Amino acid sequence: MIRNQTNISRLAGFALGGLLVLTLAACGTGTGPSQPVPPKTTATDETSVVVTAEKDQNAAAPVSGPVSGTVSGMARMTAMAPPPPRMAQPGYWQPADTSKYPDAKPNAVVVTAEQPVSTFSIDVDTASYGVVRDALNGGALPPADAVRVEEMVNYFDYAYPLPQDRSTPFRASVRVYPTPWNKDTQILHIGIKGYDIPKKERPAANLVFLIDSSGSMDEPNKLPLLKRAFHLLVDQLNAKDRVAIVTYAGAAGVVLPPTPGSDKAKILAALDQLEAGGSTAGGEGIRMAYQLAEATFMKGGVNRVLLATDGDFNVGITDPKALEDFVTRERGTGVYLTCLGFGTDNYNDAMMQKLAQAGNGNAAFIDTLNEAHKVFVDQISGTLFTIANDVKIQIEFNPARVAEYRLIGYETRLLNRTDFNNDKVDAGDIGSGTTVTALYEITPVGSKAQMSDPLRYGKPAVAAKGGEIAFLKMRYKLPGQTVSKLIDRPITDTDVTTDFNTLSPDMRFAVSVVGAAQLLRHDPYIKDFDYDRAKNIATAARGDDRFGYRAEFIRLLDLAKVADKQKPLESPPSPD
């Protein structure tokens, strides 16, 4: 199993008709500094990419240090890894990164006259923000494929207006304003705020903790952090809730049968006894967790499997498509799936995203105990309690007002135009009190920012009545229902703000996050904008920052600016 190359290398050996020395970069103990190794190129499938050192020229240098563990059935030895060979090209050395991220290119600019309608599913996942933060705190820019704009901006809470009651679970706030990175375009800002269930009204929860206890989880930021994180969740439960624990390594098994949430000592004792070791039978664990959740199904309650792993499934059902199909079938039972990622070494973000989407759930990346507190304490209602299913957004742009547009982010959530009215097509869900933000960059008719030439034989657009810029439609289902409901409204000149500085602090902060995210993934459409500009906007719009999340983002912008200016590391000198 692949482990962090910056950890101390170990050697294990045994004789079989001679001396065979196995160099294990993943296992053993050591006391001297590890030597860097050249990056490897790993084959990928069509839905994900393996991020290698060649993709990120800004990674930090490895940090040496001791690490301990066990290798069953083998003697343990301490040794130095052999020096790496010189790279043929391009002459730089970077730490290997074998994590997998969705291969989604930025959405292209669309000509309104040719395609006036844009349709996508909402996304409330926040895993990308955690991965980005972990990379920047380590002194490196994140891999571009790890940056998902929608997950960056939706990491934060915004004070969009709330709906009146649960019968209409959310409402939309719309604004059109100048683009901070292009004076000749505009931003169409759509903000959604979900109804916040009062704590005394929240339903009972039937939870199955599905915990990866395989050997790859034997790192401080994996299983040890995972156990501390789940301690926080258990503290929020009460007697009406039920908790079961399933673990998987070489095989899957039930560690804790369904137990009342009030029996905290029993639940925590089961968590604390977990140790890492073995291969990763994640597929078998998922099957067992769903069976257990269905056997103890709470009608009218929350039924959810919480998968906590680095995503490295290598035993049992390992095919990503087979796992996705299994989870898709199981969501029909009313059991949802939350995916919690731990550790960036060999982290399979692509699989975690697919499973969360297929399981009517959400995905988060927990890199610190503070992040665990955010997910399991500060925003527990949004994490566990769904208020609307299959939420879709469709915008029809008026070609007489909008020459071109592009949806910023949501590349993995795009839908066909006809999917909007098809209630069989799955889409994202909104949790209690959750906010969702989506931004379009639009080019007004006549703007010099227009990227396409007018058609020689095209027909002139007919202006809509009432000064309409676009028309917004949203579909959703209430939990347990199969027929969607429609919310719609026109977007007109009354929604336009010409002075960016008069926007609400929430909208200004959100667009600063979106701008920074585009810088991090090197979008080709970001123009007159940099990390300093993003920081200035975010600082002025910080507003009420009860938990300090916005202040942390501002600090990360400073780290991104420094990392962006780093020179690539030279390849270590040859021993010759």
Nearest Cα to 359, choosing from 312, 300, 302, 426? 426
CATH number of 110-197+387-448+461-563: 2.60.40.1230
- Average the pLDDT over 68-80 and give the result: 37
Per DSSP bridges, beta strands 302-309 and 205-212 are parallel
CATH number of 199-384: 3.40.50.410
Whether the pLDDT of residue 77 is over 90: the answer is no
- Do residues 367 and 389 touch, judged by C-beta distance below 8 A? no
Confidence category of residue 199, pLDDT binned at 50, 70, 90: confident
Beta strands in 385-527 (DSSP E): 386-397, 402-408, 428-431, 435-444, 468-477, 485-492
Nearest Cα to 37, choosing from 99, 97, 95? 95
Mean pLDDT of the chain: 82
Q: In whole angstroms, how large is the CA radius of gyration of the chain?
A: 25
Whether the pLDDT of residue 453 is over 50: the answer is yes
Q: Which tens digits make up the pLDDT trace of 506-540?
A: 999 999 999 999 999 999 999 889 999 999 999 99
Residue with tokens 């599905």: 210
Q: How far is CA 366 from CA 129, 224, 345, 369, 373, in A?
A: 10, 12, 13, 7, 10
What residue ranges do the domains of the chain occupy? 1-91, 110-197+387-448+461-563, 199-384
Whether the pLDDT of residue 21 is over 50: the answer is no
Greater model confidence, 168 or 154? 154
